[in-house]
Structure 1
Amino acid sequence: MPQTRYFFRGERAEAERAYASLERAYEDEGAPLAIIELDEARAIFEVSAYLDVEEGGDRTPELAVAAGIAPERVGREDLPDKDWMADVLAALKPVRAGRFLVHGAHDRHRVAPNDLSIEIEAGQAFGTGHHGTTAGCLTMIERLWLRRQPQNALDLGTGSAVLAIGLAKLARIPVLATDIDPIAVRVASANVRSNGMSQMVSTSVSDGFRSRAIRERAPFDLIVANILAGPLISLARDFRRHLEPGGDVILSGILTHQRAAVLAAFRAQGMVHRRTLTREEWVTLHLSR
């Protein structure tokens, strides 16, 4: 049956509310949903729902009611009938970041004997390693490890747990991986198990640093956070409070024009900038206390 993408745009609060409503409305149908940020400065997001539609049919009114928006705000894009997952898998080539190789199960044969393999399936969302910020963090983790050997690490905003898995495989140390989104934590936990890292990586839901798991494990000598510049700036003080003296932080999710603001926030907390790694329009920062 042909599939149609229905979409609309709005400010963050409205988009997130509508996305949650659509999740409930189409849970039984299993319709794929997506939410992406189109304009960071104005906080404009686009929400999409991929629905099966009978020939000649239109589910715009139904979706508008489910999302709680006016029907005229809903756009429609008819998609060709094809195997989208096959296309996704073909496009997602393995990503090399130093010794790390982020790949799907379909590319296991590409893993060399000395590679640190991180297997993440397409469709498991929250970061497959193909974003420049993830590769930047993995590269920075390996560079840091060559000079310093952390013993207790936190991956804040872990998403799919790519960074936590990579760090545990490289350093063979315990890593706590947290995220504000319970769905992300479930995905992260599954990825940790499938990569054989359950003995080293533990996962937990946490709103920033506010969780029992973080309180029990702090202070950390390495905190990695690949989130967004705004949350990083607002959490700068909490990073310092949960970091051992002499400890390190690796930060990403930062656009090049946001670098100065993030550095200023962390320098105000007594952090020292060690290195910046740039990939396209994104930067990864290494600072220490």
Structure 2
Amino acid sequence: MTAMITPSTARALFAIGDEPGAKRVVDLLNESFDEGQAAIAAFERADGRWDVSIHFADPPDQASIRNLVGLASSEAVAESIAFDVVDAKDWVAESLQGLVPVRAGRFIVHGAHDRASVPLNKLGIEIEAALAFGTGHHGTTRGCLLLLDQVLRSRKPKRVLDLGSGTGVLAIAAAKALKRRVLASDIDPMAALVARDNARLNGVGNLVESICATGFSAAAFGERAPFDLVLANILANPLRQMATAMAAHLAPSAQVILSGLLPHQAMSVIVAYRARGLVLLRHQQIEGWSSLLMQRAG
């Protein structure tokens, strides 16, 4: 994959006293940002408090962020917010340094240094540092790969979409397993380039079409639909917002794998997709993140 110089990412960090408090803050923040503006996560600490982090697509208005957090918690929590800048290339590279290959069913996500250690009966996905989430070490990506492995035990979907593809792990996994074309899309043009390069690195460059698109706006979605399988490892708020558009692009009995959800957000996403005619088949949690397998009724 071609080396790429990546921009820095603005970040906000703060701690809050308990899970209900963290949930209130995260829910308000998710509702306050449009798709692609921010990535929000909350994790429980050993002492029972919760750490909340926000990564911004653009430098934030710090006073506005403090006001939002203050509305859902307290002035003291709002004042405690620490803003900094994280170099995207450095944190992604660091996430891969020294990590052993990650196994998820038939799939193994690994770096170049572990290429030779992939067993012959497994499908290796080689991913190196780049500007995007989705190295395979994150709980949401691993959850999606496990659900994908389960789906492919009984189905061979012909039309597959990886929505919010990041580094392209899921699109590459599907293309390798099915030996069929996969459409991969991301709102970040840099991520779309990274996914394309990673597909070439993994020998499926001719099968993975990587595009930059917001939601289902690009013509490629209509041309390739209806999809038999959609992989969408994004965030709760955009998943809810895209429920109607996604349902309109699904084939009868199509399955969708949805992730990027904190456990308390899963039910609202399930409800949104149930309202569009999908039923829940499986809900799993890995490393504090929820992943859903749903199917279009009929």
User: Which TM-score tier does this pair reach, normalised by the shorter chain?
Assistant: 0.7 to 0.9
- The answer to whether the aligner puts 1:40 opposite 2:26 as a matched pair is yes
CA distance in 2, matches of 1:272, 1:184: 31
Deviation at 1:267, TM superposition (A): 0.3
- The answer to whether the aligner puts 1:243 opposite 2:250 as a matched pair is yes
Change (3 A) 1:151 1:36: farther
1:119-156 residue CA offsets vs partner (Å, 9 max, x unmatched): 00024433211100000000100101111110110000
Match of 1:187 among 171, 188, 194: 194
Change (3 A) 1:217 1:92: same
- The answer to whether the aligner puts 1:227 opposite 2:234 as a matched pair is yes
1:175-198 residue CA offsets vs partner (Å, 9 max, x unmatched): 000011111101111111111101
SS at match of 1:170: helix
1:201-236 residue CA offsets vs partner (Å, 9 max, x unmatched): 111111101101111111111111000010001111
SS at match of 1:40: helix
Change (3 A) 1:250 1:47: closer
User: Equivalent residue for 2:155?
Assistant: 148
CA contact (8 A) 1:228 1:254 kept: yes
User: Which amino acid counterpart does residue 40 of structure 1 have in structure 2?
Assistant: V
Deviation at 1:42, TM superposition (A): 5.0
Deviation at 1:46, TM superposition (A): 5.2
Deviation at 1:86, TM superposition (A): 8.5
TM-score (norm 2): 0.72
Query: Bigger relative contact order, structure 1 or 2, given CA contacts below 8 A and separation 6+?
Result: 2
Change (3 A) 1:37 1:92: farther
Change (3 A) 1:187 1:84: closer
- The answer to whether the aligner puts 1:116 opposite 2:146 as a matched pair is no
CA distance in 2, matches of 1:239, 1:85: 29
User: Equivalent residue for 1:209?
Assistant: 216
Gaps of 5+ in 1: 1-29, 49-65, 78-82
| Correspondence 1:28-177 to 2 at 5 A | 33-36=8-11, 38=13, 40-41=26-27, 43=29, 45=54, 89-177=96-184
CA contact (8 A) 2:10 2:84 kept: no
Deviation at 1:281, TM superposition (A): 1.5
CA contact (8 A) 1:126 1:159 kept: yes
| Correspondence 1:238-277 to 2 at 5 A | 238-277=245-284
TM-score (norm 1): 0.74
Change (3 A) 1:86 1:137: closer
User: Equivalent residue for 1:58?
Assistant: none
Deviation at 1:172, TM superposition (A): 1.3
Deviation at 1:280, TM superposition (A): 2.5
Change (3 A) 1:125 1:240: closer
CA distance in 1, matches of 2:91, 2:294: 41
User: Equivalent residue for 1:200?
Assistant: 207
CA distance in 1, matches of 2:272, 2:182: 25
SS at match of 2:180: coil
Pair member with larger Rg: 1
What's the % identity of the aligned pairs? 47
SS at match of 2:210: strand
User: Which amino acid counterpart does residue 120 of structure 1 have in structure 2?
Assistant: I
SS at match of 1:141: helix
CA distance in 2, matches of 1:85, 1:252: 20
Change (3 A) 1:209 1:111: same
CA contact (8 A) 1:33 1:47 kept: no
SS at match of 1:164: helix
CA contact (8 A) 1:95 1:101 kept: yes
Deviation at 1:91, TM superposition (A): 3.0
User: Which amino acid counterpart does residue 254 of structure 1 have in structure 2?
Assistant: L
Change (3 A) 1:228 1:37: farther
